[in-house]
Chain A
Amino acid sequence: MTGLKGRDFIAITDFTRTELESIFEVADSMRKYVKQGLQTLQGRILVTLFFEPSTRTRLSFETAMLRLGGGVTGFADPSYSRVVTGESLADTIRMADSYGNVILLRHKIEGSARLAAEIASIPVINAGDGTQHHPTQTLTDLYTIRNEFGRIDDIKIAILGDLKHTRSASSLCLGLTHYKNIQLYLVSPSELRAKDEVKDYLKGKKIKFIEIDNVEDVIPEVDVLYVTRLQKERMTDPSEYERVKGSYFISKRMLDRAKKGMIVMHHLPRIDEIPLKIDYTAHARYFQQAALGLPVRMALLSLIVE
């Protein structure tokens, strides 16, 4: 289990299934410490470099580090990143490398986390770069599924929304390839389908997936409905957005046909795609999913920080 010490976490595929399971097991034991805390990373510092805003991922990691007895430094304000854009990312990483024990990076430039990991001697955690990777969100998503069903194998899951640009969706697809007998439904308008790079990876790992337009076709079948936001500005034709949006906003009526134990997940923040009414149904799991991000991130930091 010490095999993760010093490792970077750039993509969910960087870790094996066994390594993911070891993180989940530690996350199980961390759940009783999310309020009272531990002192296992005392004296260690997490450096957060957020060149793009992300309240949730950042707060969740900062809280995790503080709960483990460590400290936090860095910047969260994209206006600060405008100041440091005079400097190359590589130089910012070298600075962070000399200050901290682990780096958390979010950047809009694709591949920036991989470059950071090459430069830094301390572990680098990717808090989202480009449109493909958001490994700690996926770790949380997989942990939520495991927590609900006691397994991740044999799950039927629909991922809904803008599958082309949403990094949480792409990253979850990649994460599911660690598991057996997954039935995956990729539900999106035709112009926002998952990228070929992601679909070819699924095929290479023999994951069964079907691309469909309408979520209602699969609601009775799935165990997990993973909702992401469909943004008007991502569609080339705004009238097309108006026409299809109904199929990508979940309604209480839609859920009437769902299995009893089906759960609705969302990486949050949500806007209109999940109405408030659904919060009070037995299907809603997105708040719990967000809460589970804390023990998961505590586990990850405990295992990789030296």
Chain B
Amino acid sequence: MKNNFFLKVEFSRIAELIDFLVQHCEELRITREGENAGIEARGLEMDAALSARLAILYPEIEVNIIEDGKRERFEPDLPVTLRGILNCPNPNCVTSQPREPALPEFVVVSRRPILLLCTYCGRYLNQNRITAELFKVNKKVPL
């Protein structure tokens, strides 16, 4: 379902976020609010993947959903298991093999700071190694 959202994030961090949001919403307006950027995103579909992406890449982001002109705080949901949402950076992981039907899957070990554990290779993925690039999951045929 599409909704209108208002996001507040540190100004220095908006470039990548806007790049991404612009592909997923109908209209985007950015205003400067001191150190922060206010982003109004209209017609945005807040699905599990976007929600997890915001929670992981922007732990300090403030997200509001706009209903009847009023802003309501919205907590980007981070489920215990992330399946098919971000790639494992380990090239030797079975989920990194393009021809194997294994969707990348992580268990959230800790939320702040973020720490994920790959279900397949058993390796940690921490904040330092998480980049927007990892969210470009090439969905394989599901099992």
Task: Give A contacts to B, CB under 8 Å.
Answer: 88-90, 108-112, 114-115, 118-119, 130, 132-133, 195-197, 200
Which residues of B sit under 8 angstroms from A112, Cβ to Cβ? Answer: 94, 100
B 94-127 binary contact with A (CB < 8 Å = 1; else 0): 1101011110000001000000011111111000
Is there contact, CB below 8 Å, between B123 and A110?
yes
> Which of B99, B102, B143 sits near A111, CB closer than 8 Å?
B102
Q: Is the Cβ of B94 less than 8 Å from the Cβ of A109?
A: yes
**Is B100 in contact with A110, judged by CB distance below 8 angstroms?**
no
Cross-chain pair count, CB within 8 angstroms: 59
B76-102 vs A, CB cutoff 8 Å, 1 = contact: the mask equals: 000000000000001011110101111
Which residue of chain A is the closest to B88 with respect to CB atoms?
A111
The answer to whether residues A114 and B120 also contact, given A89-B94, A108-B92, A119-B143 and a CB cut-off of 8 A, is: yes
Which residues of the partner chain B approach A114 to less than 8 Å between Cβ atoms? 94, 102, 119-120
Interface positions of B (Cβ within 8 A of A): 90, 92-95, 97, 99-102, 109, 117-124, 143
- Which residues does chain A contribute within 8 Å of B90, judged by CB atoms? 110
User: How far, in Å, is A304 (CB) from chain B's closest CB?
Assistant: 22
**Smallest CB separation, B104 vs chain A (Å):** 10
Query: Who on chain A is nearest to B143 by CB?
Result: A118
Measured between alpha carbons, how far is A112 from B100 in the docked complex, in Å?
Answer: 9
Given A89-B100, A197-B117: A115 in contact with B94 (beta carbons within 8 A): yes
A115-B102, A118-B143, A197-B117 are known contacts. Are A110 and B122 too (CB-CB below 8 A)?
Answer: yes
A110 touches B121 (CB 8 A): yes
